[in-house]
Amino acid sequence: MKEILLVKYGEIILKGGNRSRFEKTLIENMSNALKNVAETKITVAQATVYVDVSDAEKIDLVTERLAKVFGVVSIVKASVCEKTIESIENTAKAYLKDDLISGKRFKVEAKRSDKTFPLNSIEISMEVGGFLDDNFEGLIVDVHNPEVTVKVEVRDTAAYVYCRENRIKGQGGMPQGTGGKATLLLSGGIDSPVAGHMMAKRGTKIEAVNFFSYPYTSERAKEKVIELASILAQYTSSVKLHIVPFTEIQLAIRDNCPEQHMTLLMRRFMMKIAEIIAEKNGSQALITGESAGQVASQTLAALNVTNAVVKMPVLRPLIGMDKTEIIERAEKIGTFETSILPYEDCCTVFTPKNPTTQPTLSKIEKSESHLDFDGLVKKAVDETETVIIYPKK
Ligand code: ATP
Ligand code: MG
């Protein structure tokens, strides 16, 4: 029996005249995600992507990979058969024998896009339903509340039979690359990888910037950030990561500025440097993992002060989320375990005891005037190292 994957996508259908561009990108991204996984043939027709996997043993692995591709709403294994009612019935009987067990409530739902097929959708459902009811002991027909929904799709090229309850949920969202490009400030914490994932889910191509304070933070802390980027890359195919040396800036702030302003001054340097890197790589926005009120540097007054140093829009997808909600997402996307590894972040090393929570821009700018802001920024940008991170296996 020939098996194939049927992949459904959601919001792209709404894209009107741009739909084919979105579909094309989705298919490219699906092929990329499967490049070193299995040989496949991918085609699209009538709002469904068909993935024909040459090596039948790899079909589950392919499903797992496709479930991470943004734009994919669901994936299901289906049996392909000839477009005759006998073939559909016999295929359903053989293919779904493990689903159609005694005592189960079931129904058949047919869809006919090939209008030349002699039976219409309702007739197909009734025929196949009657046949399965006759062939399996103890099944109960229940069209309102079924446990097993046998789906039959009669399409131009063939007919497909599957069980709706076997569908696997995808990520949803929009295909990577259809939503512009943005630069993510990626720390080793819980929040920023989630923020990056949320924007990538809207189709945005992500580059990442990390500020690294060697020797105050260890090589392990850097590896942790690389690991987080490689988990994000599972969803985006790769992530370009810019590693910015930050120690000199932190020492300059520590030695020349009031302690309670330290965090905000560091945050402003980060934003400015990230903006310069973002402009160079063609990004249209910055992304951070900030959430209102989470820490002193994330009060609205503090966010105003950090925002004031950049012109580019700053996207903060977590702004209204609670920490517990962020953690749930981190667990779901697979970054949580890495984020909680205990290696210190560059900010934790230089945290003031009593950071200001209600700063004013003028006071912060005054503190900052003790430093050669532009010179320090330029040096950090010049010394930035860039690496391309590929998906974690
Ligand atoms: P996270 O859990 O992502 O580390 P956080 O709650 O610890 O966030 P902060 O340390 O105040 O918050 O940082 C706020 C945001 O600034 C982070 O979400 C991230 O986008 C950015 N950021 C902080 N530290 C770094 C860093 N070392 N490198 C890159 N970006 C950083
Ligand atoms: Mg942090």
Whether 103 and 130 have beta carbons less than 8 Å apart is answered as no
67-78 burial, b if ≥16 CB within 10 A, otherwise e? bbbbbbbbbbbb
The residue contributing the CA closest to ligand 1 atom 14 is: 290
- Residue 342's pLDDT is what? 85
Q: How far is the CA of 319 from the centre of ligand 2 (A)?
A: 15
For ligand 2, a single-atom ion, which residues have Cβ within 5 Å?
Answer: 187, 189, 345
Rg of the chain over Cα atoms, rounded to whole angstroms, equals 27
- Domains of the chain, earliest start first: 3-169 (3.30.2130.30), 181-389 (3.40.50.620)
Whose CA is closest to atom 18 on ligand 1? 289
> Quick check: CB of 186 below 6 Å from ligand 1?
yes
Low-confidence ranges of the chain (pLDDT < 50): none
DSSP 293: T
Report DSSP state, residue 244: E
By CB neighbour count within 10 A (0-12 exposed, 13-18 middle, 19+ buried), where does 83 fall? Answer: middle
Nearest protein Cα to ligand 1, atom 21: 185
Report whether residue 317 contacts ligand 1, using a CB cutoff of 6 Å: no
Q: How far is the CA of 348 from the centre of ligand 2 (A)?
A: 8
For ligand 1, atom 31, the nearest C-alpha belongs to 187
Q: Give the pLDDT of residue 343.
A: 73
Q: Which ligand is nearest to the CA of 289?
A: 1
In degrees, rounded to 5, the angle at the alpha carbon of residue 96 between the alpha carbons of residues 93 and 98 is 115
What is the number of H-type helices and E-type strands within the chain? 14, 15
382 CA to centre of ligand 2 in angstroms: 24
Choosing from 192, 267, 287, 346 the residue with most ligand 1 atoms within 8 A of its CB, the one to mutate for a pocket test is 192
- How far apart CA 219 and CA 227 sit, in angstroms, is 12
pLDDT at 13: 64
- CA 83 – CA 60 distance, rounded (Å): 26
Other C-beta atoms closer than 10 Å to the C-beta of 380 total: 22
Residue 393: the pLDDT is 77
Write the CB contacts of 64 (distance below 8 Å, at least 6 apart in sequence).
none
CB 154 within 8 A of CB 59: no
How far apart CA 35 and CA 352 sit, in angstroms, is 48
**Within a 13 Å sphere around the CA of 18, how many CA atoms are in the beta-carbon half?**
11
User: Is the shortest distance between the CB of 185 and ligand 1 below 6 Å?
Assistant: yes
| Residue 243 beta carbon below 6 angstroms from any ligand 1 atom | no
Query: Which residues fall within 8 angstroms of residue 117, CB to CB, at 6 or more apart?
Result: 83, 124, 154
Against a cut of 0.85, is the pTM above it?
yes
